[in-house]
Structure 1
Amino acid sequence: MAGNSQRRNRRSSNKKGAQVGSGGQRRRGLEGKGPTPPAEMRKGHAKQRAAQARARRATGRPAPRRGGPKGTAELVVGRNPVFEALRDGVPATTLYVQQYIDSDDRVRDALKLAADRGGIHLLEAPRAELDRMTNGLNHQGLVLQVPPYDYAHPEDLTAAAHDAGEDPLVVALDGVTDPRNLGAVVRSVAAFGGHGVVVPERRAAGMTAGAWKTSAGTAARTPVARATNLTRALQGYQKAGLMVVGLAADGEAELTDLDLLDGPVAIVIGSEGKGLSRLVSEACDVRVRIPMPGEAESLNAGVAAGVALYEASRRRTGRR
């Protein structure tokens, strides 16, 4: 019954027992740790990364990529796709060739390209093994393994621009899922002097073999960064002094009237159908529209990036 303190395992008090002391840890935590080191010596600081980049340039060492975990390897399947990937310089680690394959021009050309490039392992495998690797796709006896892309960190793009003594010019993609659009944007960034492309980690196109092919080789020298959260990455750019400009059909200003493009800027481009997402749109300092006197209502991401980057390049060239 209620209030019966004789019941077994019944707590008769809510008071807690004695607590273990901190052993002086709190007191030691309040002690001073000396003067703050200069920015160049603080781990993760932008000035430290810039100093490290200068040292790498002086010694000729390549810059490391600080992106998140790599994705999985990709397989290019079929004689024509494999030949075109090798011809267009898509990175590859292994070319699998079916045993007793009926050789034709495409097979011979693919083998020659792989041998000439070097660094690509040539492995012979039975058809059953290639069927298993490709989940039964029509591989025609050729399978090319493409390694996972090594993404940069969004802050690496601005650090590289500052190291070169230039105002950062970065393109961020919001909801662009077609790898060919990503490849076209990478190509435009390289053509107009940009410093890289930022893509979200989820629900977005990545640097696949198709993106590499569309970039026409520029992906080898134009970094692509992956952001866990695109909105936070843009806010980080704002704190670093960049203006975030979003392209939108209902933008409050026209691209050609925007003077911000001749300074440090991140241009944000959404998908052709949905445009910018709400959170990304709200994170932009200004939203601009591309004037289109014709009948088209929108441009795909690759074309829109080319137009915006050309305008930014024109203004920057005229500023010098």
Structure 2
Amino acid sequence: MTELLPKAHPARPEAGTAAPDAHQAQGAQGPAAVSHTVPAAPAASVARSHRRRLGPGRSLPFGRLIGPVLVVAVWWGASAVGYLDPRILSGPGTVVSTATDLIQSGRLQDNVLISLQRAGLGLFFGVAAGVILAVAAGLSRTGEYLLDGPLQIKRAIPSLAMLPLLILWLGIGEQMKVTVIALGVAVNMYINTYSSLTGIDSRYVELAEGLDLSRRQFIRKVVVPGSLPGFFVGLRLGVTASWLGLIVVEQINATSGIGYMMFQAQQYAQSDVIIVGLVAYGIFGFASDAAVRVIERRALSWRRTLAG
């Protein structure tokens, strides 16, 4: 979008007018004013000083892991002093031992692969549907009239509340599970992308009209850069929604997956297996969100923000 903005030119003296010299300036302001004049700081140094005061500053390479590490440390300490009942919540050592056994038997890998496949398919179809609907409603008045109302109503209805109807329509197989995940992702993608599309500054639109840009150039230079921030917000929420939906659908008449493994452990009061499943969900959710953040930072490197 910055390519569309006209460049500012420095002010020039009018023809026939000479610029005042230093002696004239001193005579106009007086010697007292000159003696107390302080040279202005460069704009770059001022911006850096504001960033040091307001921004996050220099970040640690793995700074976001500090919180989870502290939680594990408190959990480990409480278990070591006997504050936690192992029948209710197993200690970290027991969980690590159980995870090792599950990996050696291949049970954990098999369930993880199935869960990743379900979450990946739901995320893919949800993102595609949400973006297509947002573009149709955001760039066309007819599309807005036809699509925005029903999708706003769907936004108020949780995807999990539609489980009975989806089971009735699609059964209890993989199609139903992927559909539930995709619905949760699609709503997040639509709401944020549509809001970003319709929130593009009208001055850029007027500037594009003044430059006589074609529709393709307008979409490439104005619409796409203007909608990317909302798209990535929706993508991050969609990734989280895919894992939330996966947790639920894998505990409903499932025969495989991390959720199924946790449900089976619940029947035998195996809290260590349940925690292994929760840790697996947390790791994949954290890693996927971090991957989206990296892509977002690279794609939106042209923005000057405190987090950029």
Higher helix residue share: 2
* Higher-RCO chain (CA-CA 8 Å, sequence separation at least 6): 2
Query: Highest Rg: 1 or 2?
Result: 2
TM-score in same-fold range (> 0.5): no
- TM-score by length of structure 1 reads 0.18
Query: In proportion to residue count, which structure has more strand?
Result: 1
